[in-house]
Chain A
Amino acid sequence: MSKKIMATEEQIAYAKLLDLGMKAGLLLLVITFAVYVFGILTPHVPVNDLPNYWKLPVKEYLEVTHIPHGWAWVGMVGKGDFLNFIGIVFLAGVTIVCYLRIIPILLRKKDTMYAVLAIIEVLVLTLAASGVLKSGGH
């Protein structure tokens, strides 16, 4: 078995895109959080009211604050708190993009098994992100 001395081409490609995505997401979060805490956009849940809600189970919290499930937050990005979901979702999506980046490299190298694994992973993460899967709540 040949030994790797350096990281592989796909590993470096993944790392470079991950680095870029991570820094962009971090910058995005810093900006949107500043907008939130400085009150530049009015939040949906007033900051002073948060201690009344953060002790509640999530199902009850959503009911009393009238916050919808899933991707409906997109319609609320004009609110200071929900604006932060852009950065949160961006970071949660970086991994999917990194996988998409390495699939062509793996296919070109005829590393079929790992290309299939990467494709499966993209499908798994996309399913999780879709909002189709919901929990019953307690």
Chain B
Amino acid sequence: MPIIGGFFPFHIDFVRGAGLLVALAGALAAGPGLLKKGMADLRLALPVAVIASSCAIVGAMIGLALPAKVVNIALGGTILGIVVIMLMAKKSEFPEVKQADNLSTALRISGVYHEASTGQDINWQIHRTPQGLLLFIVIGVMAGMFGLGAGWANVPVLNLLMGAPLKVSVATSKFLLSITDTSAAWIYVNNGAVLPMMVVPSIIGIMLGSIVGVRILAKTKPAAVRYIVITMLLFAGSRALLKGLGIWN
């Protein structure tokens, strides 16, 4: 979304509609592979999805009512804040979770995934589940408001706050987008904020790319994934903020 909004002359209403549909399509394409490999976790995603998708509807309705300048400034500031958090985190590839909390235990949220880069099976569990679920209220609203996939927020909350391994966080976040973005995308579709000439080529491209990306994620070293995510967020956040402030149009 920030890339399309930054380099093309489309109004942000259409950029957001396209952004949500593109993110949704990418998640739909990647989801089957990630779920079958056990890297995306359905039990982790479902409770989060109910909260995030409901709030994304609210966010979409608010976002379509706000002036474009306000949206760009808020978007840029938020993404840059996430970059700072990710840069300052000391250990995120395999967070240490000494004890699963009561809520994640009751929901039976835990698992094992095979880390291809080391050949090890990684056992994982999560903590701070109530706090994480509360944050997904905010994430859902922002996803709908900004027309973003929300992976930029999902991954830090799942990984840094709740303690899921980075690859499980990235994979589950990707899968989550297929649910969260569905709800927000419907609002944009039903309000007419979708241009097929913009949206369809982007959807086709992202779907084909996501199918390939799933295979790459399984083999990529977790540290490399982290720095790729940080670099992309830094670019996206800076561009949105500068555009909203009228410095870089």
**Residue ranges of A at the interface with B (Cβ–Cβ < 8 Å):** 1, 3-8, 10-12, 14-16, 18-19, 21-22, 25-26, 29-30, 32-33, 36, 47, 50-51, 54-58, 61-62, 67, 69-71, 81-82, 84-85, 87-89, 91-92, 94-96, 102, 113-114, 117-118, 120-121, 124-125, 127-129, 131, 133-138
B38 touches which one: A6, A21, A47, A71 (CB < 8 A)? A6
What are 9 contact pairs spanning A and B, CB under 8 A? A6-B38, A11-B36, A55-B11, A58-B11, A84-B199, A117-B47, A121-B53, A125-B182, A135-B62
A133 touches which one: B42, B61, B67, B200 (CB < 8 A)? B61
CB contact under 8 A between A133 and B192, given known A58-B14, A88-B200: no
B183 to nearest A CB, angstroms? 4
> In the complex, what residues of B have CB within 8 A of residue A12's CB?
35-36
> In the complex, what residues of A have CB within 8 A of residue B131's CB?
none
**In contact, B32 and A95 (Cβ under 8 angstroms):** no
CB contact under 8 A between A138 and B64, given known A22-B31, A29-B200, A54-B198: yes
CA distance A118 to B107 in the complex (A): 14
Given contacts A58-B17, A113-B106, A121-B53, 7 further A-B contacts (CB under 8 A): A5-B112, A33-B200, A67-B192, A82-B196, A92-B189, A135-B64, A138-B65
Residue of A nearest to B186 (CB): A128
> In the complex, what residues of A have CB within 8 A of residue B111's CB?
3-4
**In contact, B38 and A4 (Cβ under 8 angstroms):** yes
At the interface, is chain A mostly helix, strand, loop or mixed? helix
**In contact, A14 and B42 (Cβ under 8 angstroms):** yes
Instruction: Answer yes or no: B207 CB below 8 A from chain A CBs.
Output: yes
CB contact under 8 A between A121 and B28, given known A54-B11, A88-B189: no
B144 to nearest A CB, angstroms? 10
Interface residues in B40-91 (C-beta closer than 8 Å to A):
41-43, 46-47, 49-50, 53-54, 57, 60-68
**In contact, B187 and A133 (Cβ under 8 angstroms):** yes
Instruction: Answer yes or no: B178 CB below 8 A from chain A CBs.
Output: yes
CA distance A86 to B193 in the complex (A): 15
Interface size class of B (residues with CB under 8 A): 35 or more
**In contact, B50 and A84 (Cβ under 8 angstroms):** no
Interface residues in B91-145 (C-beta closer than 8 Å to A):
100, 105-108, 110-112, 121, 123, 125
A18 touches which one: B28, B105, B185 (CB < 8 A)? B28
**In contact, A3 and B64 (Cβ under 8 angstroms):** no
> In the complex, what residues of A have CB within 8 A of residue B60's CB?
135
A91 touches which one: B28, B67, B105, B192 (CB < 8 A)? B28
**In contact, A21 and B189 (Cβ under 8 angstroms):** no
**In contact, A95 and B178 (Cβ under 8 angstroms):** yes
> In the complex, what residues of A have CB within 8 A of residue B38's CB?
4, 6-7, 11
B111 to nearest A CB, angstroms? 5
B28 touches which one: A16, A22, A57, A85 (CB < 8 A)? A22
B57 touches which one: A4, A7, A128 (CB < 8 A)? A128
Ranked 6 nearest A-B pairs via Cβ: A135-B64, A19-B32, A15-B35, A128-B186, A84-B196, A58-B13
**In contact, A136 and B190 (Cβ under 8 angstroms):** no
> In the complex, what residues of B have CB within 8 A of residue A15's CB?
31-33, 35-36
> In the complex, what residues of A have CB within 8 A of residue B62's CB?
135
Instruction: Answer yes or no: B197 CB below 8 A from chain A CBs.
Output: yes
**In contact, B32 and A18 (Cβ under 8 angstroms):** yes
**In contact, A18 and B196 (Cβ under 8 angstroms):** no
